[in-house]
Amino acid sequence: MNLTDPFRCADGDKLREECGVFGAIGAPDAAAITALGLHALQHRGQEAAGIVSFDGTEFFVRRGLGHVAENFSGQEAIAALPGMMAAGHVRYSTTGGAGLRNVQPLYADLAAGGFAVAHNGNISNAATLRAELVSRGAIFQSTSDTEVIIHLVATSRYPTLVDRLIDALRLVEGAFALVVMTPEGMIACRDPLGIRPLVMGRVGDATLFASESVAFDVVGAEFIREIEPGEMIEVGFDGNVRTLRPFGQHRPRPCVFEHVYFSRPDSVFAGRSVYEARKAIGSQLALESPVDADLVVPVPDSGVPAAIGFAHTSGIPFELGIIRSHYVGRTFIQPSEGARHTGVRRKHNANRALVAGKRIVLIDDSIVRGTTSMKIVEMMRDAGAAEVHFRVASPPTAHSCFYGVDTPERSKLLAARMEVEPMRDFIKADTLAFVSLDGLYRAVAGVDRDNAAPQFCDACFSGDYPTSLTDLARATNVDAQLSFPVGKVA
Catalytic positions are 19
Query: Is cis: bond before 301, omega within 30 of 0?
Result: yes
Exposure letters 416-453 (e unless 16+ CB within 10 A, then b): bebeeeebbebbebbbbbbbbbbbbbbbbbeeebeebe
How far apart are alpha carbons 464 and 124 in whole angstroms?
15
End-to-end CA distance of the chain: 24
CA angle (262, 265, 270) in 5-degree steps: 70
Q: Which of 102, 280, 120, 286 is nearest to 189 (CA)?
A: 120
Q: Which of 398, 392, 450 is nearest to 261 (CA)?
A: 392
Q: What are phi and psi of 19, to 5 degrees?
A: -155, 155
Residues with Cβ within 8 Å of 133's Cβ and at least 6 positions away in sequence, in order, are 140, 148, 151, 152, 155
Q: How many other C-beta atoms lie within 10 A of the C-beta of residue 301? A: 13
How far apart are alpha carbons 181 and 221 in whole angstroms?
20
Query: Is cis: bond before 454, omega within 30 of 0?
Result: yes
